[in-house]
Amino acid sequence: MSRTSHRPFRVCFVCTGNICRSPMAESVFRAEAAAAGLGDRVVADSAGVDGWHEGEGADPRTVAALTAAGYPADHRARRFDAAWFAGRDLVIALDGGHLRALRRMAPGPGDAAKVHLLRSYDPAGPGAGALDVPDPYYGGPAEFAACLEMVEAACAGLLTAVSGALARGTAAAPPPSGGDAPDFPRSAHDR
């Protein structure tokens, strides 16, 4: 799949309500892209598979974790729309439930192929049974800090894949392991 060189590479991070994990991933990835000098070539946004929190800001604990780590935390929740597939090069799910929901929502096979799990890009390779970013919603600061740590590790690998796609002039930036098959087991963390 080739892309036009003048259009930025677009990545959308998706969790359940777009107030915890996906805004965290959006903020981290955007900062890493800017630090790598790709801020004008890579665009990141986020959404939720459900619209429970549309228009709300990020969870205050997400904001606290991001701010403490030096990331910007300005955000308004929104729901992912299937029409957005056409304008995104990658749609990054935060857990297996999101992966399945997004692939079902995809208008066609090419769009479904854009959906991958964030942790499948983690260079440390968390393993097939540990590809979900657990939902910190029902936890406290420690769970949000652990979530941020997982997001940071995976975003580094995702940026490497996106940089490679930009160098090749393609929209394809699959995870190195290919470890997020459509039949990935259901997560206990589907928030």
The catalytic site residues sit at 15, 21, 135
- Alpha-carbon dihedral sign for residues 75, 76, 77, 83: negative
- Contact residues for 19 (Cβ-Cβ < 8 A; gap 6+): 48, 53, 56, 57, 58, 59, 62, 75, 77
Return d(Cα 162, Cα 33) in angstroms, integer: 9
Return d(Cα 61, Cα 114) in angstroms, integer: 30
